[in-house]
Amino acid sequence: MDDMDDMDHMDRRILSVFRAYGSDPRVAGAARALSWAGEHGALWLAAGLAGAAVNGARRGAWLRGTALTAGAHLVSMGVKRVVRRPRPAHVEPLVRTAGRHSFPSSHATSAAAAAVAYGALGAHAIPPLAAAMCLSRLVVGVHYPSDVAAGAALGALTARIGSRWMAGGAHD
């Protein structure tokens, strides 16, 4: 086996372990709820708009963070169309997906972007919720761990690159 085969084997094994947690109805229900809430970045976009609504002093920064989160999600969808990695076939998924491509996880991308952007604005509950979102993609069996890791890295990088722009108008 070469290194890529080893990585693929490890990816499949780790996914199988996480997917097994989905046999607990409580875990499966929570993972499905996160999956639904994270579709197209909806949870994170709603959180950003809520932050803008309740924090008038930093409204502009919240709106720019929301735009960064949406932008990260769009970038992940573009990467998905280029890479075209099929979703895992060795586990039974617990949810339907909007598309058939797996890499990177757009749920993880938007979650990590929100964690970085909104975390910088003091929303300390967002990073743990984003981590739960990322793990839920494995529990529902629709992404390999490498898809989730790449998505999270893409989202965090996108938000970090835009952090100066996001904070630039923090006085508005």
Residue ranges and CATH numbers for the domains of the chain are 3-168 (1.10.606.20)
**Would you call 3 exposed, middle or buried from its count of C-beta atoms within 10 A (0-12, 13-18, 19+)?**
exposed
**169: confidence class by pLDDT, cuts 50, 70, 90:** low
What is the predicted pLDDT for the residue at 36?
Answer: 93
Mean pLDDT computed over 19-27: 93
What is the predicted pLDDT for the residue at 5?
Answer: 82
Give 49-81 pLDDT, tens digit per residue. 999 999 988 999 999 999 999 999 999 999 999
**1: confidence class by pLDDT, cuts 50, 70, 90:** low
Q: What share of the chain is helix, strand, coil (3-state, %, to 5)?
A: 75, 0, 25
What is the predicted pLDDT for the residue at 171?
Answer: 45
**170: confidence class by pLDDT, cuts 50, 70, 90:** very low
Rounded Cα–Cα distance for residues 135 and 148 (Å): 8
Phi and psi for 31 in degrees, rounded to 5? -65, -40
Give 99-110 pLDDT, tens digit per residue. 889 999 999 999
